[in-house]
C-alpha cells in the first residue's frame, strides 16, 4: 500500500478502551459502532462494535489505524485515507462508503460518517459513526417504521426531518440515514419515532443556537449515543 500520509503513522488507540461487551460469535446488533481521534493525545479510539465489523476480536490487542485501514478494499483505500486527512484539516462533516475485508475473507459494505470538533478555530478531535449495510435489516426497519408512524402524520414528518438532517449534514443517502437512525434507536433502546422527534426538537433547541449548523447534529448524536440516559430522561419529561 502506498504511504497514506502522516495520519497512518500515528499511534493506535488508547489503552482505556471500553470493556468487552460482546463477542465475535454473538455481535450486538443494537450497538452503534463509533470512532474518535483526539488531537491533544494524537491517538485514535474505536468501539468494540467497530472491531467486530472488521472481523477482529475486541478482547485482543488493539489494532493500529494502519492495520484497520489495511483491511479496507484496495480500490477504496485512497478515498478512505483522503476522507480522514481532510477531516483532520478542515473538520467539516464527512461520509465515506467503502468495503472492508475481514481476516476471515468476508467482505463488508460500510458507511462512515462524522465531523471534526473545533475549539478556538482548531480541530481538536474527529468523531464519527460506522454503519454496516452488509446484512441490512431494512425489511424489518420498514415494517417497524410503518407500524410506528401509521398513526400520525406528525411522526412521519419527524422521521423524514431527522433523515433529511443526516443526509444534508453527512452527504449520505436516504437509506443510509434510515439505517443510522435505526442503529441509534437500537443502541439507546428508544423507539425510532421517539428518537426522531427528539433529534428534530434538539435541532431548534435555543441552548444549541451558538453552534454552527454542521456542528449541531454532531453534538446531538454524540449526546444520544454516549449518554442515552439523557435521552431517556428528556423523553420521560415530555411524557409527563
Rounded-to-5 percentages of helix, strand, coil across the chain = 50, 20, 35
Q: Where are the domains of the chain?
A: 6-132, 138-239
Q: Which residue has the higher pLDDT, 40 or 20?
A: 40
- How does pLDDT run across 172-215, given as a tens digit for each residue? 888 888 888 888 888 888 888 889 988 988 888 888 888 877 78
Q: How high is the pLDDT of residue 20?
A: 31
Write the DSSP string, 69-106: HTTB-TTTHHHHHHHHHHHHHH---EEEEEEEE-TTS-
% of the chain residues with pLDDT over 90: 15
Q: How high is the pLDDT of residue 239?
A: 62
- How does pLDDT run across 33-74, given as a tens digit for each residue? 889 999 889 899 988 888 988 999 988 888 899 999 999 999
Q: Which residue has the higher pLDDT, 240 or 214?
A: 214
**199: how many CB neighbours lie within 10 A of its CB?**
23
Range of 11-25, 70-84, 124-138, 209-223 with top mean pLDDT: 70-84
Residue 82 has pLDDT above 60, yes or no: yes
**What residues contact residue 214 under an 8 Å CB cut-off, 6+ apart?**
92, 93, 115, 169
Q: For 6-132, give the CATH class.
A: alpha beta
Predicted TM-score (pTM) of this structure: 0.61
Mapping DSSP onto H, E and C, the string for 176-212 reads HHHHHHHHHHHHHCCCHHHHHHHHHHHHCCHHHCCCC
Contact call for residues 146 and 140 (beta carbons, < 8 A): no
Amino acid at each position: 500500500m502506498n504511504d497514506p500520509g502522516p495520519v497512518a503513522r500515528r499511534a493506535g488507540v488508547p489503552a482505556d478502551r471500553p470493556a468487552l461487551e460482546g463477542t465475535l460469535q454473538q455481535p450486538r446488533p443494537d450497538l452503534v459502532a463509533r470512532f474518535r481521534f483526539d488531537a491533544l493525545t494524537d491517538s485514535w479510539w474505536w468501539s468494540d462494535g467497530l472491531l467486530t465489523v472488521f472481523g477482529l476480536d475486541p478482547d485482543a490487542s488493539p489494532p493500529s489505524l494502519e492495520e484497520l485501514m489495511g483491511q479496507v478494499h484496495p480500490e477504496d483505500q485512497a478515498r478512505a485515507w483522503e476522507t480522514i486527512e481532510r477531516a483532520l484539516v478542515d473538520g467539516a462533516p464527512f461520509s465515506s462508503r467503502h468495503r472492508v475485508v475481514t481476516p476471515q475473507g468476508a467482505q463488508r459494505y460500510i458507511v462512515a460518517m462524522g465531523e471534526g470538533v473545533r475549539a478556538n478555530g482548531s480541530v481538536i478531535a474527529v468523531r464519527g459513526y460506522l454503519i454496516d449495510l452488509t446484512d441490512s435489516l431494512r425489511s424489518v426497519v420498514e415494517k417497524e417504521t410503518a407500524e410506528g408512524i401509521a398513526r400520525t402524520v406528525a411522526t412521519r414528518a419527524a422521521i423524514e426531518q431527522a433523515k433529511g438532517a443526516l443526509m444534508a449534514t453527512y452527504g449520505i443517502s436516504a437509506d443510509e440515514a434510515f439505517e443510522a437512525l435505526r442503529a441509534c434507536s437500537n443502541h439507546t433502546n428508544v423507539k425510532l419515532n421517539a428518537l426522531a422527534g427528539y433529534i428534530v426538537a434538539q435541532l431548534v433547541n435555543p441552548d444549541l443556537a451558538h453552534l454552527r449548523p454542521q456542528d449541531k447534529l454532531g453534538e446531538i448524536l454524540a449526546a444520544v449515543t454516549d449518554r442515552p440516559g439523557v435521552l431517556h430522561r428528556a423523553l420521560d419529561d415530555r411524557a409527563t
